[in-house]
Amino acid sequence: MEKSLEPIVKDLQDKFGVTFEEFRGEVQCIVKPEQIVEALTCLRDDHQFELLSSQTAVDYYPQTSPRFHIIYQMTSLTRNLSVQLRVPVSGDQPKVPTAANVYKTAVWRERELLDMFGIEFEGHPDPRRILMPEGSEGHPLRRDYPLGYEEPQFSFNYEEIDLRKPYAKE
């Protein structure tokens, strides 16, 4: 871990009781869902982490609790530091408080997570899908989402598929 990062992780440990892991110099702090907004605010206001450079999620299916990790990749431009916060959430009705009031970037990021993983962000100002068309079903980046959309049409099953293929009308 970088020397200048140590007091920051220590501060997070004291205030929020986070556990941290280190891999090749990258620090990952595990934060509880109810404390994430305070942790983000603390990093922004006390430690000059101006930028939420990425917000994403991982699906650990078939593990159910926690099934998802929501990842907040934080960058401090003034101090040239980066740290990662991870929030584990369970599989049924995953819910996290929104980070949109701390970082504006989170509005679109959280819409993407809602769209792709079906994670609900409490207090989000605009909870709509962002990539998929409205009215589409399911969340494509979940690992239990079916991989293929349609059976490929070959010569041996051409007619069978041709019967149920939705052709456009004039």
Partner 1 sequence: MGVEQKLGNMGVVTTTLEQTVNWARTNAMWPMLFGLACCAIEMMSAQAAHYDMSRFGMELMRASPRQSDLMIVAGRVSKKMGPVLRRLYEQMPEPKWVIAMGDCASCGGVFNNYAIYQGVDEVVPVDVYVAGCPPRPEALIHGVLTLHEKVKGDKFKDLVKDIK
- Site residues (vs partner 1, CB under 8 A): 132-133, 136, 138, 140, 145, 147-150, 152-153, 165-170
Complex with partner 1: residue 14 or 168, whichever CB lies closer: 168
DSSP H or E stretch at residue 10: helix 6-16
CB of 164 to partner 1, least distance (A): 12
Of residues 23 and 167, the one with the C-beta less far from partner 1 = 167
Give the integer Cα–Cα distance in Å for 41 and 74: 12
Task: Please state, in angstroms and rounded to a whole number, the distance separating the CA atoms of residues 77 and 53.
Answer: 10
CA separation for the pair 71, 155 (Å, rounded): 46
To the nearest whole angstrom, how small is the minimum distance from the Cβ of residue 125 to partner 1?
23
DSSP 133: P
Residue among 9 and 141 whose Cβ is closer to partner 1:
141
Distance in Å, CB of 141 to partner 1, minimum: 10
